[in-house]
């Protein structure tokens, strides 16, 4: 296995992350924020937005005067000035990379980068690999087709830029992917937690020719920080899970370090992070994550409301990196929360309950909200050979104990619920 210290990142100003303390992070951030604030008014969207805000020499103070940015502000801008809005530098200035968010039609954001900004995104992935202990002897396998989202393009290119083998596994069946990953001796698999669970189950059925990765780098869903989901993945693959999160319109933002499982470090020299109480808007240790990216000058976002609920870990991390750590990873989406029979309910909670049950292979849930009175319906799919009645009883009991309300639980036959290659949507709402 590669030890984290054996890894040499490309020549980044940060140097090795494990010796990057919070003072040095603050100094790098101040320098980068000063550059960003000097340049951002060249972009018409930001020139309009910053009109009337008095300039201030202290960059952090200047930033705090800028209003919070919502995804809807960016969508409106792209609707009013199609197709890209006035969010980016000019085409003649080298914009060369296109990505877009995975929103349903009507709320998809289109994003553009010039080469220096794109390289900055690759730097972030280089940092993720460093924190994950991925090194030059590793072989990375990407078992999915690349959509127009930022995440895996940057992960793939960052690896090749560093001389690490990256193998694309798109356009193939799950069985063919397993064979290919085994043939190239993949040591790291990347994917969503759901899809890697699905592949792991297939590998178990297949038996003989399956890959034996030492690491799974997961993103795109909260599961990488949900203990029950992590345990399933680690048991299926006998490999360590490393969680990561990012957004097309912001960049690759967080990563888990090898030394301290179950939380996410913000790559804080590249993103300024604020945690704001959603009710009061004041700084807090638990609340909404608000981000400013410092290394994407061709199309930055300043004080962007991510909608992610997070909690700051007050303890220094044993890995030595001084960047903010989010305890338990992303705890939920603020807009996903519903009230069911007087109780706060996040769909993520259901994943943490159900994936902890022995004999469960997959599930789907529907929140019915006729006239505002919500109820939860859950369909559980047992593993082949598992007792469906026992699984229904166990799910019913576990939901009652953890959520303090009762759900309607029933079972379906093995292999019938959908499996997603990218983000799984297990819980839906019907009004």
- Give the residues lining the site for Zn ion (CB under 5 A): 257, 260, 317, 319
**165 or 317: whose CB is closer to Zn ion?**
317
Task: Pick between residue 20 and residue 178 the one whose CB is nearest to Zn ion.
Answer: 20
Least separation in angstroms between CB 331 and Zn ion: 18
Closest contact distance (angstroms) between CB of 265 and Zn ion is 5
Distances (CA, A) of 150 to 128, 159, 408: 15, 14, 38
- Could you report how far apart the first and last alpha carbons of the chain are, in Å? 50
Residue 132 and residue 6: Cα distance in Å, rounded? 12
Q: Output 74 or 319, the one with its CB closest to Zn ion.
A: 319
Q: How far is the CB of 316 from Zn ion (least distance, A)?
A: 9
Minimum distance, C-beta of residue 70 to Zn ion, in the bound complex (Å)? 30
Place of tokens 């924020």: 33
Cα 105–chain centre separation: 21
Identity of the residue, 33 or 326, whose beta carbon is nearer to Zn ion in the bound complex: 326
**Alpha-carbon distance 255 to 244, whole Å?**
4
From the number of C-beta atoms within 10 Å of its C-beta (0-12, 13-18, 19+), residue 175 rates as: middle
- Cα 10 to Cα 25, 110, 122, 164, 379: the distances in Å are 18, 29, 10, 12, 48
CA atoms within 13 A on the CB side of 134: 34
Q: Tell me how far apart the alpha carbons of residues 157 and 164 are, in angstroms, rounded to a whole number.
A: 10
Alpha-carbon distance 40 to 27, whole Å? 20
Kindly provide the b/e burial profile for residues 88-123, where b requires at least 16 CB atoms within 10 angstroms of the residue's own CB: bbeeeeebebebbbeeeeeeebbbbbbeebbbbbbb
Considering the complex, state which of residue 210 and residue 257 has its C-beta at the smaller distance from Zn ion. Answer: 257
Cβ proximity to Zn ion: between 12 and 317 the closer is 317
| Shortest distance, position 163 Cβ to Zn ion, whole Å | 25
Comparing CB distances to Zn ion, the nearer of 307 and 323 is 323
Nearer to Zn ion, 20 or 236 (CB): 20
Least distance CB 354 / Zn ion (angstroms): 29
Q: Which is nearer to Zn ion, 4 or 295 (CB)?
A: 4
64: which 2 tokens?
């705090």
User: Minimum distance between the CB of residue 237 and Zn ion, rounded to whole angstroms?
Assistant: 22
Q: What's the sign of the alpha-carbon dihedral 386, 389, 392, 396?
A: negative
- Which of these, 215, 206, 260, lies nearest to 239 by C-alpha position? 215
From the CB of 252, what's the least distance to Zn ion, in Å? 16
Question: Closest separation between CB of residue 318 and Zn ion, Å?
Answer: 7
């Amino acid at each position: 296995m590669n030890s984290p210290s054996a890894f040499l990142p490309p020549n980044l100003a940060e140097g090795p992350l494990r010796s990057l303390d919070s003072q040095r992070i603050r100094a790098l951030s101040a320098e980068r924020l000063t550059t960003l604030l000097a340049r951002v008014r060249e972009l018409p969207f930001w020139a309009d937005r910053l009109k009337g805000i008095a300039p201030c020499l202290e960059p952090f103070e200047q930033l705090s005067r800028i209003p919070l940015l919502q995804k809807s502000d960016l969508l409106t801008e792209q609707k009013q000035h199609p197709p890209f809005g006035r969010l980016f530098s000019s085409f003649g200035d080298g914009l060369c990379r296109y990505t877009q968010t995975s929103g349903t039609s009507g709320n998809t954001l289109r994003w553009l980068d010039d080469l220096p900004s794109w390289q900055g995104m690759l730097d972030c992935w280089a940092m993720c690999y460093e924190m994950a202990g991925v090194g030059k002897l590793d072989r990375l396998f990407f078992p999915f087709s690349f959509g127009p989202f930022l995440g895996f393009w940057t992960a793939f290119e960052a690896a090749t830029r560093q001389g690490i083998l990256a193998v694309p596994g798109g356009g193939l069946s799950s069985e063919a992917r397993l064979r290919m990953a085994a043939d190239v001796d993949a040591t790291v698999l990347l994917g969503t937690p759901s899809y890697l669970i699905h592949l792991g189950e297939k590998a178990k059925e297949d038996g003989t020719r399956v890959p034996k990765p030492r690491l799974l780098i997961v993103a795109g869903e909260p599961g990488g920080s949900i203990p029950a989901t992590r345990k399933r993945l680690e048991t299926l693959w006998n490999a360590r899970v490393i969680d990561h999160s990012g957004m097309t319109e912001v960049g690759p933002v967080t990563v888990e370090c090898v030394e301290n499982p179950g939380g996410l470090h913000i790559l804080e020299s590249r993103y300024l992070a604020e945690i704001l109480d959603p009710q009061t808007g004041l700084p807090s240790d638990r609340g909404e994550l608000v981000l400013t990216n410092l290394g994407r000058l061709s199309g930055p976002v300043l004080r962007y409301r991510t909608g992610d609920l997070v909690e700051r870990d007050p303890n220094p991390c044993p890995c030595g990196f001084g960047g903010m750590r989010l305890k338990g990873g992303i705890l939920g989406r603020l807009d996903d929360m519903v009230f069911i029979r007087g109780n706060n309910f996040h769909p993520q909670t259901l994943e943490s309950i159900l994936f902890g049950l022995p004999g469960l292979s997959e599930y789907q849930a529907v929140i019915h909200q006729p006239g505002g009175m919500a109820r939860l319906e859950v369909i559980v799919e047992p593993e082949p050979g598992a007792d469906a009645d026992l699984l229904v009883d166990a799910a019913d009991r576990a939901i009652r104990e953890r959520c303090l309300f009762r759900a309607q639980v029933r079972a379906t036959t093995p292999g019938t619920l959908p499996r997603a290659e990218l983000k799984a949507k297990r819980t839906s709402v019907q009004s």
